[in-house]
Amino acid sequence: MHAHIHNEETNNTNTKSHYPNQRHFITREIGIDAGHRVTFHGSKCRNLHGHRYTIEATCVGPLFTEGEQQGMVLDFGFLKEEMVRECDEPCDHGMILWIDDPFTLKLALGGDSDILARVREAVQLVGYHQLRLNVDDNTGGKYYIVPFVPTAENLAKHWFERLAARVTQRTDNQASLYSVKVYETPNCSAQYPTNPTNPTN
């Protein structure tokens, strides 16, 4: 896990920063292991397979001038806690599946269409659903059901939306989540949003 920091000049002077003409960017990185598939892909990506995902969350804002986060945009430890909560705990060593993937009904739900209907309702309501089925007798597993094909692009947007409010809360509305970048492999990544607006203006 890694963390980075960068600062940038801005014309925004209405901040709590000790340096009113600067905003700072910080980045925290975590890694998770998870499986997925791209349902209708024309090659091997349609098969169930896994990745060592690397997830980078970048935040932007002025520095705190007092309290335990003095001199920080957001404590790296606090950002890690939120990334673990929203990305690692529900998804690590599990399967990320699209609700409309036929494998979801067959693999995760044992062919039970009634359970599928309830899971679909939950996914529509909150944007995902976690399942842990028959873990004790080793016939089930850990599943994270989402309303989209779980590509890196879609996961970057999903995790951005899950983390954005948490970053705002942990900084008393002072900092914002700037972007989330998801690596499926060291050579393949997706970022959301691709051209963020200035959240400090």
* Longest distance between any two alpha carbons in the chain, whole Å: 60
> What is the pLDDT confidence band of residue 111, given thresholds at 50, 70 and 90?
confident
Position 176 confidence tier, pLDDT thresholds 50, 70, 90: very high
- Residue 137 domain boundaries: 3-192
Residue 112 sits in a domain whose CATH number is 3.30.479.10
In a domain, 201, yes or no: no
Indicate whether 163 belongs to any domain: yes
Is 77's pLDDT higher than 80?
A: yes
Give yes or no for residue 123 having a pLDDT over 70: yes
Is residue 198 assigned to a domain?
no
Domain annotation covers residue 197: no
* CB contact at 8 A, 46 and 148: no
More confident residue, 106 or 15: 106
Q: How far is Cα 26 from Cα 182, in angstroms, rounded to an integer? A: 16
Please give the distance of CA 141 from its chain centroid, rounded to a whole number. 21
pTM of the model: 0.85
pLDDT for 23 beyond 50: yes
181 within some domain: yes
Bigger pLDDT: 134 vs 78: 78
User: Locate tokens 């599943």: which residue?
Assistant: 143
CB 122 within 8 A of CB 129: yes
The verdict on residue 52 lying in a domain is: yes
How would residue 19 be classed by pLDDT, with cut points 50, 70 and 90?
A: very low
Please check whether residue 200 lies inside any domain of the structure: no
In the chain, the amino acid numbered 184 is E
Q: What is the pLDDT of residue 197?
A: 63
In a domain, 199, yes or no: no
Mean pLDDT of 167-173: 95
Determine the pLDDT at residue 141: 84
**Checking phi first, is residue 134 left (phi over 0); if not, alpha (psi -120 to 50) or beta?**
left
CA of 108: how far to CAs of 95, 133, 198, in Å?
Answer: 9, 8, 41
In this structure, the chain runs to a length of 201
Q: How confident is the model at residue 76 (pLDDT cuts 50, 70, 90)?
A: very high
Sequence-ordered alpha helix ranges (H) in 56-199: 76-83, 89-91, 102-103, 113-126, 152-170
Higher pLDDT, 195 or 160: 160
**pLDDT score of 137 more than 70:** no
Measured at the CA of 66, the angle between CA 65 and CA 71, to 5 degrees, comes to 50
The count of structural domains within the chain is: 1
